[in-house]
Chain A
Amino acid sequence: MHRRVHLPSVAVFIVCIALTSVVGVLTVIVRDDAEHQLLEDRTGEAAAVLAAAVSGAQVPLAGAAQLAEVTSGAAAPFEAVIGRAVEAGTFASGTLVDAESGDVVTTVGERPALLDAGADRVSAAIEQATGTQGLAVIDTLDLAGRRLGYAWATPGDDPSGRWVVYVEAALPSKYDVPTESGPFDVLDYGLFLGPGQAEADLLWSNMPALPDNGFDAASTVEFGDRELVFATRTDDALAGWLLHWLPWLLVAGGIAFACLAALVTEWLMRRRSEAEHLAADVERLYSAQRNRTETLQRSLVPRVLDVPAGVRLAAAYWPADADDEVGGDFYDVFSLGPDRWGVTIGDVCGKGIDAAALTALTRHTIRAAARHLESPAAVLRWTHEAIDADHAETFATACFGFLRSEPGRFRLDVALGGHPRPLLVHADGTVEEIGTPGTVLGLVEPRLTSASCALLTGDTLLLYTDGLTDVPGDGRLDADALHELVATVAHEESDPAAFADRVGRAVRARRPSGAADDMALLVLHVDDVGSLDEAATRHLALVGPAGDEGTPA
């Protein structure tokens, strides 16, 4: 999975290659067009040069024809004029012919090839010459000797008294004619006796053979009664080597760019996918941590609490917002016999696993001590010693009480170890803070005092942790405000669960930025204490405070 190439990388590569191909093809078209145009231009220029040379070759012929007309076909002057051109190598032979009879008057130089080709060819040539005003080109390419014939007839309306000057010029070898160095030496060319470009019409070429695919450009030059076709092609880069190789340079660059773009895309995709995996891992770990935290927290605040008959009990716990660590709040209610219960709430200073461990230690020490001791202050002293022995450099606050069922009332003996005093809301709406303040447990020698009070029908006892009241800023709840809130809610709600929920929600509503600390509530509501008259039991209740039983002897 990790080795697989991502789709976007492939797409980027394909798009880049496609663009490169299009650009490459367009460049080839533009280049070929430019090359072809340049070849046409060169060919035209070369043909113009050729035309000038051709017109120069006509001069001796025209002169000899005029002379023949003036001298009525005299041999000697003809021989003198043409003889010079033959000696100079311009012509291989020169012949003066009587146009009417077809008789040869005289021949200078070699014997013309045409004379050996038969009377028909000769008479055809004479007919062509007399039918042409000026230079007639006689096709002798099929005859032996690589000659080309030129004829010039004296003017006149009928053959009688007319003369034809006929010369044959030697042609160079058909192929591999050396090219003079100059502006046209980059061209491969073939010179044809027009109008076609057939091999039979080829005068000469600088190539070893005619190209298989023909020539790329051609220019036609008038040549007497015929025409010359100058056909060219080239392997050279007429527009320069840069333009010639430009398509390949672009394609190579495009492929390199495509590879680079695909690699960069792939790298980015991998980075993103790694980041996504990392985020998923973090979320999974975070979620696992949260689950562990919740599990641990549940173990610290039990769901099932023992309830004395006649008392309804509710507990509520709100963890701090935006905080995934275990808080230090705990509470517990447990049975110690048929008519005796332990009630506790507390808070270990700190957060996290260490605090959770100490919270468990504190809660279980309180449970164990409660089974062996009679005074709540003594229970808290045991607890202090257990925490101190743990060398945790921290402390816990706790409220612990023994709840006893007595005729006509419940009696609560309670001690406080640095913990906020519980609130007792009487049925008439008055709120009383109970217990004697004491010292936090575990760090310094504590002063712990037990106190007693009575709980009667309709009374609500609220034990809470400082997260309820003590927060930084405006969310703080002072004692008066808390008493008022508790009295109001108690008046409307006799169900302890609803009471706890409403108090908790009212407090949290005051903190728009969220709860900074954990918050735990334990609510006991006395439904029924039996039949004794209330005034009597209230009197009985005034037995405390019970003195400082927690101080060591």
Chain B
Amino acid sequence: VTVEVRCEPDGEHGVVVRVHGDLDLDAEEQLVREVEVVLAGTTGVVIDLAEVDFIDSSGVRALLRLRRAHADRIRLGEVTAAVKRVLDIAGVTELFERVEPAGDVGGSAP
């Protein structure tokens, strides 16, 4: 297992799932499974990638599969520059509503 997933309640958008580690082929199924477990008991999930330094196409696929299955119930929290670059190249950044940390400017990306 290359990622650790921690959950924190967040009143507005549901549960925040904090991912720690490399989001690669080994981590893809784990992330999808854990987010779906959390989703079963809440309104939505904010996937926070602030502690992810590496994401490859499998990690992107995990996010897209969740997005496809659960639409707007999946949101993205903070992302690192490395993750943002990969998501930008893949052209999927704008598919996800972004939730910035508390006190920051909330709401969705353009």
Interface residue ranges, A against B (CB under 8 Å): 347, 349-351, 393-395, 397, 416-421, 437-440, 443-444, 446-447, 466, 470-473, 476, 517
Q: Nearest B residue to A449 by beta-carbon distance?
A: B91
Whether A418 touches B54, Cβ cut-off 8 Å, given contacts A394-B61, A443-B61, is: no
Whether A470 touches B90, Cβ cut-off 8 Å, given contacts A395-B64, A443-B68, is: no
Q: Nearest B residue to A440 by beta-carbon distance?
A: B90
Binary contact readout B44-81 vs A (1 if CB under 8 angstroms, 0 otherwise): 00000000011011101100110110000000000000
Q: Is the CB of A438 within 8 A of B91?
A: yes
Q: Taking A397-B57, A517-B56 as given, write out 19 further A-B residue pairs in contact, using a Cβ cutoff of 8 Å, ordered by the A residue number.
A: A347-B57, A349-B61, A350-B57, A350-B58, A350-B61, A417-B91, A418-B90, A419-B89, A420-B89, A439-B92, A439-B95, A443-B64, A444-B64, A444-B68, A446-B91, A466-B56, A470-B56, A472-B22, A476-B54
Question: With the chains together, A420 CA to B86 CA distance in Å?
Answer: 9
Question: With the chains together, A446 CA to B95 CA distance in Å?
Answer: 10
Question: With the chains together, A394 CA to B64 CA distance in Å?
Answer: 9
Could you say which residues of chain B place their CB within 8 Å of the CB of A349?
57-58, 60-61
Q: For the complex formed, measure the closest distance between the CB of A348 and the CB atoms of chain B, giving whole angstroms.
A: 9
Could you say which residues of chain A place their CB within 8 Å of the CB of B88?
437
Question: With the chains together, A213 CA to B40 CA distance in Å?
Answer: 104
Q: For the complex formed, measure the closest distance between the CB of A476 and the CB atoms of chain B, giving whole angstroms.
A: 7
Could you say which residues of chain A place their CB within 8 Å of the CB of B95?
439, 444
Q: Is the CB of A437 within 8 A of B56?
A: no
Binary contact readout B2-40 vs A (1 if CB under 8 angstroms, 0 otherwise): 000000000000000000001011000000000000000
Q: For the complex formed, measure the closest distance between the CB of B4 and the CB atoms of chain A, giving whole angstroms.
A: 15
Q: Is the CB of A444 within 8 A of B22?
A: no
Binary contact readout B84-100 vs A (1 if CB under 8 angstroms, 0 otherwise): 00101111100100000
Residue B109 is within 8 A (CB to CB) of chain A in the complex:
no
Interface residue ranges, B against A (CB under 8 Å): 22, 24-25, 53-54, 56-58, 60-61, 64-65, 67-68, 82, 86, 88-92, 95
Question: With the chains together, A471 CA to B86 CA distance in Å?
Answer: 11
Question: With the chains together, A421 CA to B22 CA distance in Å?
Answer: 24
Could you say which residues of chain B place their CB within 8 Å of the CB of A421?
89
Question: With the chains together, A301 CA to B61 CA distance in Å?
Answer: 24
Question: With the chains together, A419 CA to B68 CA distance in Å?
Answer: 20
Could you say which residues of chain A place their CB within 8 Å of the CB of B82?
476
Q: Nearest A residue to B95 by beta-carbon distance?
A: A444
Q: For the complex formed, measure the closest distance between the CB of A213 and the CB atoms of chain B, giving whole angstroms.
A: 87
Q: Is the CB of B58 within 8 A of A470?
A: no
Q: Is the CB of A439 within 8 A of B91?
A: yes
Could you say which residues of chain A place their CB within 8 Å of the CB of B25?
350-351
Question: With the chains together, A315 CA to B92 CA distance in Å?
Answer: 29
Question: With the chains together, A421 CA to B24 CA distance in Å?
Answer: 22
Question: With the chains together, A418 CA to B64 CA distance in Å?
Answer: 13
Could you say which residues of chain A place their CB within 8 Å of the CB of B54?
470-473, 476
Question: With the chains together, A306 CA to B95 CA distance in Å?
Answer: 38
Selected A-B contacts with CB under 8 Å, 5 pairs: A350-B25, A350-B61, A443-B64, A444-B92, A517-B56
Question: With the chains together, A245 CA to B56 CA distance in Å?
Answer: 81
Question: With the chains together, A388 CA to B77 CA distance in Å?
Answer: 28
Could you say which residues of chain A place their CB within 8 Å of the CB of B57?
347, 349-350, 395, 397, 466
Q: Is the CB of A440 within 8 A of B60?
A: yes
Question: With the chains together, A349 CA to B55 CA distance in Å?
Answer: 12
Could you say which residues of chain A place their CB within 8 Å of the CB of B91?
416-418, 437-440, 446-447
Q: Nearest A residue to B69 by beta-carbon distance?
A: A393
Q: For the complex formed, measure the closest distance between the CB of B36 and the CB atoms of chain A, giving whole angstroms.
A: 14
Q: Nearest A residue to B88 by beta-carbon distance?
A: A437
Question: With the chains together, A347 CA to B90 CA distance in Å?
Answer: 11
Question: With the chains together, A362 CA to B42 CA distance in Å?
Answer: 38
Question: With the chains together, A473 CA to B58 CA distance in Å?
Answer: 17
Q: Nearest A residue to B64 by beta-carbon distance?
A: A443
Q: For the complex formed, measure the closest distance between the CB of B58 and the CB atoms of chain A, giving whole angstroms.
A: 6
Q: For the complex formed, measure the closest distance between the CB of A457 and the CB atoms of chain B, giving whole angstroms.
A: 30
Question: With the chains together, A351 CA to B57 CA distance in Å?
Answer: 11
Q: Is the CB of B61 within 8 A of A395?
A: yes
Q: Is the CB of A470 within 8 A of B86?
A: yes
Q: Nearest B residue to A443 by beta-carbon distance?
A: B64
Could you say which residues of chain A place their CB within 8 Å of the CB of B58?
349-350
Q: Is the CB of B64 within 8 A of A472?
A: no
Q: For the complex formed, measure the closest distance between the CB of A472 and the CB atoms of chain B, giving whole angstroms.
A: 4
Question: With the chains together, A466 CA to B87 CA distance in Å?
Answer: 12
Q: For the complex formed, measure the closest distance between the CB of B70 and the CB atoms of chain A, giving whole angstroms.
A: 13
Question: With the chains together, A86 CA to B88 CA distance in Å?
Answer: 143
Could you say which residues of chain B place their CB within 8 Å of the CB of A447?
91
Q: Nearest B residue to A465 by beta-carbon distance?
A: B57
Could you say which residues of chain B place their CB within 8 Å of the CB of A439?
90-92, 95
Q: For the complex formed, measure the closest distance between the CB of A346 and the CB atoms of chain B, giving whole angstroms.
A: 11
Question: With the chains together, A309 CA to B91 CA distance in Å?
Answer: 34
Q: For the complex formed, measure the closest distance between the CB of A188 and the CB atoms of chain B, giving whole angstroms.
A: 89
Q: For the complex formed, measure the closest distance between the CB of A467 and the CB atoms of chain B, giving whole angstroms.
A: 9
Could you say which residues of chain B place their CB within 8 Å of the CB of A443?
61, 64-65, 68
Q: Is the CB of B56 within 8 A of A397?
A: no
Q: For the complex formed, measure the closest distance between the CB of A452 and the CB atoms of chain B, giving whole angstroms.
A: 19
Could you say which residues of chain A place their CB within 8 Å of the CB of B61?
349-350, 394-395, 443
Q: Nearest A residue to B82 by beta-carbon distance?
A: A476
Could you say which residues of chain B place their CB within 8 Å of the CB of A446?
91
Q: Is the CB of B53 within 8 A of A418?
A: no
Q: Which 5 A-B pairs have the closest CB atoms?
A: A439-B91, A349-B57, A472-B54, A418-B90, A443-B64
Identify B53's interface contact among A347, A420, A444, A472, CB under 8 A. Answer: A472
Q: For the complex formed, measure the closest distance between the CB of B80 and the CB atoms of chain A, giving whole angstroms.
A: 12
